Amino acid sequence: MAKAVNRSANRILWMEESKRTKPIAIKSNLLLLFILFLLFLIGGSLFYVWTRIQVIQLGYEISNALKEERTLNEENKKLRVEIATLKSYARIERLAVGELRMAKPKPDQVIVIR
């Protein structure tokens, strides 16, 4: 570390500037570290918000699917009742006699197959 004294102004002039470059390097490293920390914090926050939105959206989809399932189960029950009604022997006999003009067979017209 060399000093030069300026006699006219009574000032000390420092010739060595290597001490100044070290704090700038440390400050730039700290700034870079701080920026990386902020980016990580922002990225983590965005990821957290995105996952919460996905959970809410999936909840709505599940709710809609359950509602559709209930609707389809009710329709299935109605169709099963309709099938049972259409298959009833009393209805088939009434249609055969009334609309198709069929008659019950006489005992000698019945052939038993074994």
The pLDDT confidence band at residue 46, using thresholds 50, 70 and 90, is very high
CB 95 within 8 A of CB 85: no
The pLDDT confidence band at residue 58, using thresholds 50, 70 and 90, is very high
Give domain status of residue 12, yes or no: no
pLDDT of residue 28: 86
pLDDT of residue 92: 93
For the chain, percent of residues with pLDDT exceeding 90: 69
Give domain status of residue 7, yes or no: no
What's the structural domain count of the chain? 1
Closest by CA position to 1, among listed 13, 25, 21, 23: 13
Domain that holds residue 76: 18-103
